[in-house]
A and B are shown apart, each in its own frame.
Chain A
């Protein structure tokens, strides 16, 4: 990209600058001996053309909307259309969550993002013994289609796109969504949205698994197949790095392990007989937006370039849509502090800039109180405004990939891509992501990184403002959101009524048929759809699947 001789000239001058500066350090030392990125990698004082001399513009950087997509997956990016401001929300009952969704739509949110409570995520009804104390706490409680209908009351499903953070029982919640749309008169072909549906990261970092890996992969490929014909605009998976990062990984690990999971899903789908270009365009990703802005921007670029190459070279994808990595981003929850919560607004603003300058397709911004509780209406509004201010006031959306061409950014993009590729190789050697998870490799790598991070904080090597430095005496914050414990009882009562009013014979037949389908090799989605329409509960449907598939047994990887 640069003239070889010129680069050498500059590098000579750089060496002079370097030597001079090193000498001056005795009198005027730098603030630290070494400087590190958020992930702990050393950063040089200065980056010059020498650091990127092997970069070829056409091959490595390219143009937005063109292979290898380093600069972005659409030709006009935010000049054409801003990223979707999609705020993750949901708590307590479907009624209350419905209110919150309507509020967010009023305030300018363009997409819905549903948070489910833990019993729902793990396939238990609100009256299950393990649901005690958990109903409605981290998200909305959905026990049956009836709750789903309330959740989207007065919201036309052909007018919004909905992302559902649901994994092990994704098939069931998707079926419920399709059923609600049907009742609204909206056909499945019109539906736009995403289900997270990424079971591998549950085993790695998030813990809301139900079934063992093999049947889980079957369910996932069943969904790919069903949607490719019946719900063609739906993103069938959101391959997630967010949680891997939250569990303590580095940026390179976030990319490496996420793409390794992606590879596993693609392989599973191909093995199930699907053509790569039939499902790959609907794969999407989900990344973290952490504190080190420059490292994060490099990370997203590296991920896009690496995935494009993998899809093309490893899987022989032909369609451009198969190679373009589209992703949703969430600002890193684990970076927020309980101390001086106002500071979190600033952190989220920086993380928003990182995600936007990194080319995200949609974004959730955390609220200031989230180290302590679910957000109030007021704090969620500020989080949404943060995105709007960046979009309309900061100027970073005026041009595409504004940091492209920075010597540091291009060098870092290369570095992260290289290191992510090493992780993918290692996972391949272990037999692929499912095998690597079983052997505990991925979990241990993440744990080591997390432990190191913690040690750095405790030794003050890593400063967290308000927590280990710049502390103040403060009172407990007031006005946090609390989920009324009565929610549990309300859901239980609803279940009683539901079971009385539905056609229980119909439910039984549907569940029996589902059981047979699970035991066989048919696609289970049509059977789940019939069951949920008959108002079988989530717990009942998952109960059948638990019977047939068994439950995942956790392992220790400390």
Chain B
């Protein structure tokens, strides 16, 4: 596309969409453009939303976006769904819950597949967020299904992280990955009309009582599909935003988030580099065979691999 940089700065949706595609495909052009334009970003406030499947994240996002649109804010949504490990394909269905927003000129929604270990989803999401930031969004929602580590990592680098839970998952709260509960800045118990919603809220508050920080994550009850609780959630987000932007620990948190973002991308890139550099001589396969036959041990094998990356 010609003049893609200018088009992006002018709020051209096709340009933004095309750049996100490039980012998804690991095309260095996308990262280069962001390098040039990074100082034009920073206007957008990024909200990560995660939770188990069926929690109602897409419906909730739809309502939050609509609520922000009433204030005339431009909003972006990046919805990440798992990719099939067998076929590499994915069904990205988050838009179904956000049908009305398709024709709202102030909204940009993009669905992305996690694309597996080599997919570089952290980098892609990072660049996509920056693109929508430069494009002109005031708020960007990054929505993931909190089932994989990388999906959790992505929301860790957002300004505010929203965890959506549903009652009836009961014991599953314990089962949910450690690390997920720690990163939530705001907890929503959705489908609160269901049995057990108060119990779920109590369990979350109990877990949170072990947290030491000067931000106490609120626990909000909601029935997103009926628009219940949306105002409260929006207020909590704005409260957290104020905290992030003005308090000392908020600013520290921002730096921490950026560190997470860097680490996520570095981790992905190192993994990619590793596979690249061991591809030709099938180093990994060779070493694995040796270890399996006990001709070698895992720890020496790892040293060999790290040497390939020039890491001591």
Contacts and interface: CB of A to CB of B under 8 A. Distances in A.
Determine direct contact between A and B, CB below 8 Å: yes
Interface residues of B, number: 9
Contact of B54 (A212, A439, A553, A554): A439
B125 interface: no
**Which of A440, A550, A555, A558: most chain B CB closer than 10 A?**
A555
Nearest to B227: A550
B263 interface: no
A555 B97 contact: yes
A478 B91 CA distance: 39
Nearest to A557: B93
Interface string B265-296: 00000000000000000000000000000000
Contacts of B96: 554-556
B91 A553 contact: no
A434 to B, nearest CB: 12
A475 B115 CA distance: 44
A553 B59 contact: yes
Interface in A532-558: 550, 553-556, 558
Nearest to B54: A439
A558 B59 contact: no
Contacts of A550: 226
Chain A, interface SS category: loop
A553 B62 CA distance: 11
Chain B, interface SS category: helix
A80 to B, nearest CB: 50
A426 to B, nearest CB: 15
Contacts of A554: 96-97, 99
Contact of B91 (A212, A439, A558): A558
Nearest to A550: B226
B93 A556 contact: yes
A553 B93 contact: no
Interface in B77-113: 91, 93, 96-97, 99
A212 B91 CA distance: 25
Contacts of B4: none
A558 B93 contact: yes
Interface in A180-220: 212
Contacts of B34: none
B141 to A, nearest CB: 18
B64 interface: no
A553 B59 CA distance: 9
B262 interface: no
Contact of B225 (A439, A553, A556, A558): A553
Nearest to A435: B194
A420 B290 CA distance: 54
Contacts of B93: 556, 558
Contacts of A439: 54
18 contacts: A212-B225, A439-B54, A440-B54, A550-B226, A553-B59, A553-B97, A553-B225, A554-B96, A554-B97, A554-B99, A555-B96, A555-B97, A556-B91, A556-B93, A556-B96, A556-B97, A558-B91, A558-B93
